[in-house]
């Protein structure tokens, strides 16, 4: 067994506590990673505070992991000791279903094993559920470990493992590139990376944000236009404008207002997940043959492709680095949308 320090929530309404956890002995295909940085994703908060129900405790969140390989199993070929590597939202999947064979492990029909809060055999993770990246070490099977290219700092790479691929995958799937008009709803942890990625792909990028308070940043990240959705005029002016709209906001939005911003064959993709059902007027889909779609993170091969793309284009997340004992306060600030743009835990402070 490998001992690691971790920050865990003992119960939904508790505070984070420093604990000692065990990681499994390396199997032939396992990689032991010394974690250097871990991003704080809004999903971590929903899970840690049991807002989706059924969370398991102690809860060690963290699925935006960047670190260095400390040891490898006897049959590992993809990574070597000393390599800069990352782990995202998943640590395993069945490997044989149609989505897995199509490199879309996030849609594994047996259900992918998520990096934290997934039930597993105690031989996989002592305690019987996975424990994430708010810890000093993790053991992951080599196929779910990606390389972080030189040229991206490990701290700004960490959020790319979830936020980055969550935006990259739909941008690629729906063909963002030169000649395409893309709008990103929301300029938070997800949205700001989306702006950078879509701009680097050559698309014309517009930000649709509640206010204009982050307009300067949006332009700096590559947006050519920035509109406040609190202004009714925005929806009149942009009617029929976009080929692709990515919605990163997890609050319920007036979907019809946004659907009307799509042009012929345009698609509105839902990435943020509101708790409540959404409703749309069917006419707004029928007109211009519009689509309403969803997308969930991305596969491991595409995560690697995304990191390579980011290195090539000098893209990292914008982060605020915090110490491990500041997680509780950071959570409150994320909930209050008071972060530019992603908190990242400096794991050396554990």
Q: Using CB under 5 A as the criterion, which residues of the chain lie in contact with Zn ion when the complex forms?
A: 41, 43, 93-94, 97, 100, 108, 162
- 41 or 183, CB closer to Zn ion? 41
- The residue (of 41 and 330) whose beta carbon lies closer to Zn ion is 41
CA 225, 306, 184 angle in degrees (round to 5)?
A: 25
In the complex with Zn ion, which residue's Cβ is closer, 92 or 204?
A: 92
Q: What order of strands is seen across the sheet that includes strand 291-294? A: 225-228, 204-209, 181-185, 242-247, 262-270, 291-294
In this structure, the chain runs to a length of 350
Least gap, CB of 228 to Zn ion (angstroms):
27
Report the residue number, 40 or 72, with the smaller CB distance to Zn ion.
Answer: 40
CA 176 to chain centre: 19
Least Å distance between CB 190 and Zn ion?
A: 8
Distance CA 314, CA 200 (A): 9
Q: To the nearest whole angstrom, how small is the minimum distance from the Cβ of residue 237 to Zn ion?
A: 33
Q: Which is nearer to Zn ion, 15 or 109 (CB)?
A: 109
Of 97 and 280, which has the nearer Cβ to Zn ion? 97
Separation of alpha carbons 53 and 17, rounded Å: 21
Least distance CB 167 / Zn ion (angstroms): 11
Residue owning tokens 């590992």 = 76
In angstroms, rounded to a whole number, what is the distance separating the alpha carbons of residues 29 and 35?
A: 19
CB-wise, 97 or 225, nearer to Zn ion?
A: 97
Secondary structure (3-state) at 105: helix
5 or 97: CB nearest Zn ion: 97
Among 168, 177, 195, CA closest to 318: 195
- Residue 7 or 227: which CB sits closer to Zn ion? 7
* Cβ neighbours around 58 below 10 Å, total: 18
Nearest distance, CB of residue 154 and Zn ion, angstroms:
17
CA distances from 169 to 63, 176, 198, 227, 330 (A): 17, 10, 11, 24, 27
The C-alpha atoms of residue 246 and residue 207 are separated, in whole angstroms, by 10
The least CB distance from residue 192 to Zn ion, in Å, is: 14
Pairing of strands 137-141, 17-23: unpaired
Q: To which residue do tokens 């996030």 refer?
A: 106
Report the alpha-carbon distance of residue 189 to residue 40 in Å, rounded. Answer: 9
Shortest CB 321 distance to Zn ion, Å: 18
20 in the Ramachandran plot: left (φ > 0), alpha (ψ -120 to 50) or beta? Answer: beta
* Partners of residue 8 on adjacent β-strands: 17
CB 94 to Zn ion: min, Å: 3
**DSSP conformation letters of 231-250:** SHHHHHHTTT-EEEEEE---
CB of 120 to Zn ion, least distance (A): 15
């Amino acid at each position: 067994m490998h001992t690691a320090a971790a920050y865990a929530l003992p119960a939904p309404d508790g505070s984070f506590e420093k604990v000692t956890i065990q990681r499994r002995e390396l199997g032939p295909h396992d990689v032991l990673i010394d974690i250097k940085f871990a991003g704080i994703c809004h999903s971590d908060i929903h899970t840690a505070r049991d807002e989706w129900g059924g969370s398991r405790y102690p809860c060690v969140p963290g699925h935006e992991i960047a670190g260095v390989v400390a040891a490898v199993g006897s049959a590992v070929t993809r990574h070597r000791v000393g390599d800069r590597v990352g782990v995202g939202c998943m640590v395993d999947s069945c490997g044989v279903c149609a989505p897995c064979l199509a490199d879309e492990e996030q849609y594994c029909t047996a259900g992918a094993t998520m990096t934290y809060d997934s039930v597993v055999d105690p031989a996989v993770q002592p305690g019987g559920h996975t424990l994430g990246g708010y810890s000093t070490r993790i053991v992951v099977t080599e196929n779910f470990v990606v390389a972080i290219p030189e040229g991206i700092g490990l701290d700004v790479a960490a959020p790319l493992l979830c936020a980055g691929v969550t935006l990259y995958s739909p941008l690629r799937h729906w063909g963002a590139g030169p000649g395409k008009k893309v709008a990103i709803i929301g300029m938070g942890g997800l949205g700001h990376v989306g702006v950078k990625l879509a701009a680097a792909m050559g698309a014309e990028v517009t930000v649709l944000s509640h206010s204009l308070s982050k307009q300067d940043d949006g332009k700096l990240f590559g947006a050519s236009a920035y509109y406040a959705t609190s202004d009714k005029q925005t929806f009149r002016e942009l009617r029929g404008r976009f080929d692709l709209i990515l919605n990163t906001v997890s609050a319920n939005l007036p979907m019809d207002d946004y659907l009307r911003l799509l042009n012929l064959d345009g698609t509105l993709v839902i990435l943020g997940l509101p708790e409540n059902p959404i409703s749309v007027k069917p006419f707004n889909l029928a007109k211009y043959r519009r689509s309403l779609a969803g997308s969930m993170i991305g596969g491991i091969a595409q995560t690697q492709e995304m990191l390579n793309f980011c290195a090539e284009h000098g893209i990292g997340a914008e982060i605020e680095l915090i110490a491990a004992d500041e997680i509780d306060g950071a959570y409150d600030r994320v909930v209050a949308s008071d972060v530019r743009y992603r908190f990242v835990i400096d794991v050396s402070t554990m």
